[in-house]
Every structure is written in structure tokens, then in C-alpha cells.
Amino acid sequence: MSQAHRDLIVVGASAGGVEALRALVAGLPADLPAAVAVVLHMPLGGASALPAILHRSGALPAVFARSGMPLTHGRIHVAPPDHHLLVVEDRFALSHGPTENGHRPAVDALFRSAAIALGPRVTGVILSGVLDDGAAGVVAIRARSGRVAVQDPADALHPGMPENALRHVRPDHVLPAADLGPALAKLVREQVAPSSAPPASPQVEQENRIVRDWRVTMGAGTIGEASEYTCPDCSGVLNEVEPGTLRFRCQVGHAWSVEALAQAQGDAFEKALWTALRTLEEKVRLSERMVESARTRGDGRQVNRYQGRLDESVRAVDVLRDFLLSTGEPVPVEETGATSGDPAG
């Protein structure tokens, strides 16, 4: 049975992730016998300076990954904006496939492809971020006998991603970001037998094909069973990937975890309310003009009619504005410098 070692580290981060990534790579040695691949969630269309930031933060060079680039030991490979970073055999591939939890690149896409390609040779690392991105990815890695390390939630600027990873798998390490580097440097030297790893599940294989090749996205509708929910990205029917997993894909391949789906629905609801507020305010201004016009004409009947409409609209505006202001939550402030905007949540 051929032997190998754990020579690929895949890292996922989101909000608060730049600080955590800098701390992690500062602890990685220059002679690391493994390749490192990084996905940081970022706004679609944004530029990224992440390779330069990580290059200055530690002993390893950092570059944007390109399709066909080999998994080079002692190098950090960063997912470029608006492209999923995938692993195919012993090389990287880029994909413009469907978004996952509204993100491209997506943490789960990288983790899932790495687990399929290299099995126990993979170590997955979850850093700071909100919601549950990466949880499905570490499950896929663990199912193929890979290792998992998680930033201590108490050390994370946003503990959501680490906490959710801990709910789904028992990691090999839970450490502050600054301590993860030395721990990973030891893990990657472990010997493994890739051929002894359990195969990836059919669902994981199919999800990987959907992200890798847009031509098979129409097959996304064959995953799981239809749910009562619709996709926030395209309004298509969402299928639950596997019963009880609370993970969904639509007919064209957009993927959603339950927390990301709930947030997207909440965002859509709030957007609808703000749109309604704008419409009501326009109705108030129009009604004011109608009242003034009727008063100028001396049409008392119309003045009373339009004034009633104006009063009703003003009351509705006040109620809706008070509701929106009372339920608003502060928006997390991200680090600057990683992108032209902020990392996405």
C-alpha cells in the first residue's frame, strides 16, 4: 500500500478572516512540506490584495492560484475574486460555477473538491466568519479520513464559522489562530495511506461536479427532494441535498446552508420593507401636491379627499420607519486591505 503524507492544507475564512489568516501563516515554517490553499469570502466583483498581505505576514510566498497550477509545497495559493478554487488530482482548477451561500469563491467548494481528490492527505482549517460556511466542507474532509483544525471561537473576531464547524465534527485541534501554524506544521508530516480512505458520498461527488462544470448544473435538480423554499439568487425551487442536513441546492446549482438561507431571506424581507417605505414616502409627496393643487382650485371636496389619503400615508410611513429602525442590527466591520471592499460575512 503506497504511503503519502498530509501535504495539502485548505483554509476557509470570512468576516474577521484577514487578521486570523495573518496570524496563522506567521506560524508556518519556510520548509513546510505541504501546499496551502486559501479561500476568503469576498464581495463579487471586488479586487483582492490578500496574496500580498499573506506574503508579508510569514515565511511562505503567496500567489493567486491559476487553473492547472500544481499543488506546490511551501506556497500559499489564494482563490482569486469571483472564482471557485478547486482541487483536481494534484492541481488546482478555477471555476465560475454557481455561488454557494452567495459566495464565489466558496469555502465548501474548495474543501469538498480537496476531500474528493486527495482524501486523507487533506487538512481543513476553519477561521473567523459568521454563519455556517465551511461546516459541510469539514464534514466531507473528515469522511475521507482527513484532519480538521478550527480557530478557537474565543479567539475569532466572528465565531460563527468556528462554532458551527465544532457542532459538525470533532477536530484534531481547536487553537488560537497564532497557534494553528505550528500545529499544522506537525500534522502535515503524518504518513497516510490514500487508498484506504472511504469513498466520497454520491451527493458530495455530484455537488463537486456541479461547481466544477457548469454544463452539469441542470443535474442539480436531481439532488435530494424538493423543499418548500425558493432560491434567493434565482427564485428556483430548492432541493434538500440529503434528508435532515438542512443544506439546499436549486435547479441551476446555487447552494445554501440553513443559516445562509435564513439570512438571505431576512435580507430580502428587509429590502422589501425599505422599498415599501420609499414608495410610501413618494405617495406622501404626491398627495401633498394633490392637496395643494385642489386647495388652489378652491375644490374643498377634493382637498378633504386628498388630505385623508395624505394623513393615511404619513401614518403608514411613521409606523414602517419606526419598525425598521427598531429592528436594525449593527453591521460587522471588517478589516480593510484584503479587498477593494470588505470580506463578505
How many whole angstroms separate alpha carbon 93 and alpha carbon 212? 8
- Given a contact cutoff of 8 angstroms between Cβ atoms, the answer to whether 41 and 14 are in contact is yes
- With cell 462544470, the residue in question is 213
β partners of residue 175:
151
C-alpha cell at 277: 417605505
| Rounded distance between C-alpha atoms, residue 311 and residue 345, angstroms | 41
Catalytic residues: 14, 41, 133
Beta-strand relationship, 173-175 and 191-192? unpaired
Please tell me the distance from the alpha carbon of residue 149 to that of residue 13, in angstroms, as a whole number.
13
Q: Which helix (H) or strand (E) holds 247?
A: strand 247-250
Give the C-alpha separation, 207 to 256, whole Å. Answer: 12
What does residue 115 show for φ and ψ, rounded to 5 degrees?
-60, -45
Cα separations (Å) of 146 from 38, 120, 143, 219, 274?
17, 4, 7, 28, 46
On whether the CB atoms of residues 92 and 65 are closer than 8 A, the answer is yes
Query: Strands 122-126 and 8-13: what pairing?
Result: parallel
SS3 98: coil
